[in-house]
């Protein structure tokens, strides 16, 4: 079972930059009217204008903070009554700190935005899609869902949980005509990494990062084909294959070099 090839309406959360912005472009190029959701109104308006200037359907701008209960409930009310063809849970936040030096508030914020909000919106939108008889959800996780990641313990845990949740939900909803696809990108050339305390000038980062356009294209293609998990790019596929061959401690050490700064190591 695959998603219909014509996407009329789509929603992308966290659409003001990075992979979310690229996903909005990819869906618009396929003819969809995209609802773009984020906190930064200026960024969203600029994106909507740019897409419309290319002769594509102008996206609907929805300024909202998904950590705000009023904003979240308002969006749920809208989408439960009129679900889109495709719903993308992309909004998220990272935290690159050793676990013991991470503050509780930041950890709770990450778990809420990266895991609890996608689960809640998947329930709202998924239920409406099941009633209609078709639809597709794309949850954006991370390659970190497959590996232990030093200085990234909470993020990896949240993305692993999101991956397993999404795979389980797909098994529940697919018989009703609704698919759930999980996109697991790796290091990507976005401000997500620029804003965090990452070694963005390191050789590992510069050689490994992917273009968000390529990630978005792979995600939407996988969704349309009804795939359960999408790992974009040959580099990540090779990495997952090597996971079975390389000693576990080597993988952890390599992840630490890529994700931890010198000031973090040993804390």
Q: Distance between CA atoms of 160 and 158, rounded to whole angstroms?
A: 5
pTM above the 0.85 mark? yes
- Judge whether 2 lies within some domain: no
pLDDT at 263: 47
- Judge whether 265 lies within some domain: no
Q: Which residue has the tokens 């990540």?
A: 236
pLDDT in tens, the chain (267 residues): 455 668 999 999 999 999 999 999 999 999 999 999 999 999 999 999 999 999 999 999 999 999 999 999 999 999 999 999 999 999 999 988 889 999 999 999 999 999 999 999 999 999 999 999 999 999 999 998 888 888 889 999 999 999 999 999 999 999 999 999 999 998 876 555 554 455 444 444 454 567 999 999 999 999 999 999 999 977 777 777 777 777 767 766 666 666 665 444 444
Active-site residue, 155 included: yes
- Judge whether 123 lies within some domain: yes
Q: Distance between CA atoms of 214 and 22, rounded to whole angstroms?
A: 9
Range of the domain at 94: 9-259
- Judge whether 79 lies within some domain: yes
- Judge whether 266 lies within some domain: no
Structure tokens that stand for 76 in this block: 């749920």
Q: Distance between CA atoms of 202 and 259, rounded to whole angstroms?
A: 10
Helices (H), the chain: 18-29, 41-53, 69-81, 104-111, 117-132, 153-173, 191-195, 203-208, 212-224, 234-242, 248-259
- Judge whether 117 lies within some domain: yes
Residues 79, 87, 146, 155: which is the catalytic one?
A: 155
Domain count across the chain: 1
Q: Give the CATH number, domain containing residue 158.
A: 3.40.50.720
- Judge whether 226 lies within some domain: yes
- Judge whether 147 lies within some domain: yes
């Amino acid at each position: 079972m695959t998603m219909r090839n014509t996407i009329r309406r789509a929603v992308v959360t966290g659409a003001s930059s990075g992979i979310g912005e690229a996903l909005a472009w990819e869906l618009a190029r396929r003819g969809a009217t995209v609802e773009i959701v984020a906190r930064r109104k200026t960024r969203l308006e600029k994106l909507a204008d740019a897409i419309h200037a290319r002769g594509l359907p102008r996206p609907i701008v929805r300024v909202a903070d998904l950590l705000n209960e009023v904003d979240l409930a308002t969006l749920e009310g809208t989408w439960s009554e009129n679900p889109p063809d495709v719903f993308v849970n992309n909004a998220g936040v990272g935290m690159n700190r050793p676990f013991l030096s991470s503050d509780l508030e930041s950890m709770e914020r990450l778990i809420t935005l990266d895991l609890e909000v996608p689960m809640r919106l998947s329930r709202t939108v998924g239920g409406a899609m099941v009633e209609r008889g078709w639809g597709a959800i794309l949850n954006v996780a991370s390659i970190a869902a497959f590996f232990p990641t030093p200085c990234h313990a909470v993020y990896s845990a949240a993305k692993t949980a999101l991956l397993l949740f999404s795979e389980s939900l797909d098994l529940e909803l697919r018989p009703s005509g609704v698919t759930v696809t999980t996109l697991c990108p790796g290091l990507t050339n976005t401000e997500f990494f620029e804003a965090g305390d990452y070694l963005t000038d390191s050789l590992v980062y510069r050689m490994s990062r992917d273009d968000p356009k390529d990630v978005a294209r792979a995600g939407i293609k996988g969704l349309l084909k009804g795939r359960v998990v999408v790992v974009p790019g040959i580099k990540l596929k090779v990495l997952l294959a090597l996971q079975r061959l390389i000693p576990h401690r080597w993988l952890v050490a390599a992840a630490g070099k890529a994700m931890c700064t010198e000031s973090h190591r040993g804390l």
